[in-house]
Amino acid sequence: ETATSSDRKVIQKDQHTWDIIESAFLTNDFLCQLEKQQMDEMIESMHQVDVPADSIVIRQGDHGSLLYVLEDGKLQVTKDNRLLRIMDAPCVFGELAILYHCERTASVKALTPCRLWAIERSIFHSIMVNSAKTKHDSL
């Protein structure tokens, strides 16, 4: 781990993992619109979370603080105990509470052991704000 000027931690990743996280971002309607530098900073900041089968990763109604990418494994999304979707890698999930400051809209459970990458809400937002500021300052 190394630190940047703003003390954001950079967590090293191999190229394969980087590519999977990036392809997951690109499948998301909001995240695919990020500038390359923002996306790179977000990917750099993500930390690994490995969970066993049957773990509840997100609980509907909770206050959310992490946005996740699924690198490997299979997840189930349910709302009010009804199945919404089975998600395969690569994909982004848990983005709604982070982007829109709402409660978790659904529950997400691992159906298999899953390798996840997560970014904190505060880091996500500071990358958004900082690069918006840099852009503004350079006008």
Beta bridge partners of 50: 115
Per-residue tokens: 86: 């089975």
Contacts of 101 by beta carbon, 8 Å cutoff, 6+ apart: none
Type of residue numbered 101? H
CB of 130 to ligand CMP, least distance (A): 23
77 binding ligand CMP? (CB under 6 A): yes
CB of 68 to ligand CMP, least distance (A): 8
Contacts of 63 by beta carbon, 8 Å cutoff, 6+ apart: 97, 103, 104
Strands 82-88 and 47-51, sheet pairing: unpaired
3-state DSSP assignment of residue 135: helix
CB of 139 to ligand CMP, least distance (A): 33
93 binding ligand CMP? (CB under 6 A): yes
64 binding ligand CMP? (CB under 6 A): yes
76 vs 126, beta carbon nearer ligand CMP = 76
110 binding ligand CMP? (CB under 6 A): no
CB of 124 to ligand CMP, least distance (A): 12
**Is-contact 41 75, C-beta < 8 A?**
no
Residues forming the site for ligand CMP (CB under 6 A): 58, 64, 77, 84-85, 93-97, 104-106, 108
